[in-house]
Structure formats: structure tokens, C-alpha cells
Structure 1
Amino acid sequence: MKQKAWAIHFIYAGIFLLLAGGQMYAVESFQLTPSATKFLAHNVGPGPDTPRGALNHLMVNSGADVRETIRPPGWIAWAALSAGAVMAAHGGLLIARKK
């Protein structure tokens, strides 16, 4: 029974990757909300002690409606699609092998 639960997780992860890869393939860029941009500037980007980080913090904290645009590379969509297909097929084969 425990092995079947792992197979279901493989199938769900594969479906998620298939959907994410299809979304990235269909959309050219993603524009974040101002709150998400502020979160990225404070937690992910360069620190405020670097010139680029200081400029980012200044822009985000100035109160302007700053929105970050993310353009994922083209290969990442194909990687997610292929990994999702392999994971979903692997989960299906694990279930079929147990029967």
C-alpha cells in the first residue's frame, strides 16, 4: 500500500509539472504585483549594500507602482514538460506493476 501512495505522488507531481510547463510555454512573460515585487526585492535580490540592491530598495520603497517582469528562458518550459511526462508515466508504471 505504501508503494502505491508514492506512485500517486509521482503522478500528481508529473501533472503539476506538465501544467507548469504548458503555462510557461504559452506565456512569454509574467508581470508580478507590487507586493510580490517588494517581497522579491527584500528577500531574494541583491542586498541593500550593493549598488543594484540599493537602487532596487529605493525604487520599491518609494511608494511608486513598481512591477517586476519575469521572462523565463524557452528551455525551462520544455524541461518541465518532459520531466512531468516522465514522472507521470513512472507513477503509472508503478501502479500497473503492483496489480
Structure 2
Amino acid sequence: MKQKAWAIHFIYAGIFLLLAGGQMYAVESYHLTPSATKFLAHNVGPGPETARGALNHLVVNSGAQVRETITPPGWVAWASLSAGAILAVHGGLLVAHKK
């Protein structure tokens, strides 16, 4: 029974990666909301002690409606699709093996 539970997790992870890869393949870029851009500026990337980080914090905190655009490289979609297919098939084989 414990082995079958792991198989279901593999299948779900594979389906999630397949959907994420399909989404990244279909969409060219993602435009974030101003609040998400502010969150990223404060929590990810260079800190305010560096020149680029200080500029990022200045622009985001100025009150302007700044929106970050994220353009993932093309290989990320294919890698996600490939990993998702492998995980889903592996989980399916584990389920079939235990029957």
C-alpha cells in the first residue's frame, strides 16, 4: 500500500509539471502586478546595499505602478514537459506493477 501511495505522488507531480510546461510553452511572457513586483524587489534579487538593488528599491517604492515582465527561456517549457511525462509514466508503471 505504501508503494502505491508514492506512485500517486509521482503521477500528480508529473501532471503538474506537464500543465506548467504547457503553460510556459503557450505563453511568451508574464506581466506581474505592481504588488508582486514590489514583493520580488524586496525579497528576491540584489539587496539594497548594491547599486542595482538600491535602484530597484527606489523605483518600486517611488509610488509608480511598476510592472515586472518575466520571459522564461524556451528550454524551461520543454524541460518541464519532459520531466512531467517521465514522472507520470513512472508513477503509472509503479501502479501497474503493484496490481
Q: Same fold judged by TM-score > 0.5?
A: yes
Matched-pair identity in %: 86
Distance (whole Å) between structure 2 residues aligned to residue 71 and residue 86 of structure 1: 25
Match of 1:30 in 2: 30
Q: Size of the alignment, in residue pairs?
A: 99
> 2:45 maps to which residue?
45
TM-score normalised to structure 2 length: 0.99
What letter corresponds to residue 80 of structure 2 in structure 1? A
Unaligned runs of 5+ in 2: none
* Alignment RMSD (CA, Å): 0.4
What do the CA deviations read for 1:37-78 (whole angstroms, capped 9, x no partner)? 011000001000111000100011011000100000000000
CA distance in 2, matches of 1:98, 1:90: 13
Q: Determine the C-alpha separation between the residues in 2 that align with 1:3 and 1:32.
A: 40
Rounded to whole Å, the distance in 1 between the matches of 2:64 and 2:79 is 36
The CA distance in 2 between the partners of 1:34 and 1:9, in whole Å, is 35
- Aligned-residue offset at 1:79: 0.1
Q: TM-score, normalised by structure 1?
A: 0.99
Task: Give the Cα separation in 1 of the matches to 2:44 and 2:4.
Answer: 37
Cα separation, 2, equivalents of 1:25 and 1:50: 34
Aligned to 1:60: 60
Alignment of 1:61-76 (within 5 A): 61-76=61-76
